[in-house]
Amino acid sequence: MDTRAAQNSLVAWFMMLIVGCTGGKVPLKGPATTEDQAQQAFFDFQSAIRTSNGNKLWTLLDDDSRSDVERAVKAVQAEYDKKTAPEQAEMEKGMGLTAAEMAKLTGPGFLKSNRFLGAQPYNEVGNCLVQSVNVQGDSATVAFIEDDGDHGKFNFVRVAGQWRVSAPIPKTGQP
């Protein structure tokens, strides 16, 4: 084998090693900045909204937001329990949840409901574009622009090294 062929083989082997060790993603730049990390947390939140993934949304919320969700769950359950069977069926339809999900409503269940995902700003976050990311210590604000030109923002807090969204929870009126 000539020198050129040996070099090409070595380069090919090295590239396979890089691709194999990085899961197919070749790193193009240095470590992520705190702004990059906060923006990625927003993208994860946005993706979970797009896919109605209540479990993922739950993991992305900060503790205060989770507490707010738990209060909303209790209010929804109390409202549901007071209704007649036909009224419960109507509420299930409006929430976009099954009777079983409504009977044992959890925080993640609420987060995948129409009551959460159908409320502002969540009903428009799925396709918005990030405008800016501002990090101040363990707090970050991600500003975005919606498809219709409206502007919004979400605040994030860093908890144990992970960015968590401080999400306003919709009031528990009808969806």
Query: 70 or 120: whose pLDDT is higher?
Result: 70
Residues forming a β-bridge with 141: 134, 155
From CA 53, how far away is CA 49, in angstroms rounded?
Answer: 6
pLDDT above 90: residue 124: no
Structure tokens at 43: 């993208």
Q: What is the pLDDT of residue 170?
A: 82
Handedness of CA 55, 59, 65, 66 (dihedral sign): positive
Question: What's the predicted TM-score (pTM) here?
Answer: 0.78
Q: Do β-strands 139-145 and 151-159 pair in parallel, antiparallel, or remain unpaired?
A: antiparallel
Residue 125 pLDDT grade (very low, low, confident, very high; cuts 50, 70, 90):
confident
Report, at the CATH architecture level, how domain 34-166 is classified: Roll (3.10)
Residue 110 and residue 54 in contact, taking contact as beta carbons nearer than 8 Å? yes
Residue 110 and residue 68 in contact, taking contact as beta carbons nearer than 8 Å? no
Q: Between the ranges 11-15, 26-30, 156-160, 166-170, where is the mean pLDDT highest?
A: 156-160
Q: What is the pLDDT of residue 26?
A: 40
Residue 99 pLDDT grade (very low, low, confident, very high; cuts 50, 70, 90):
very high
Mean pLDDT (the chain) is 84
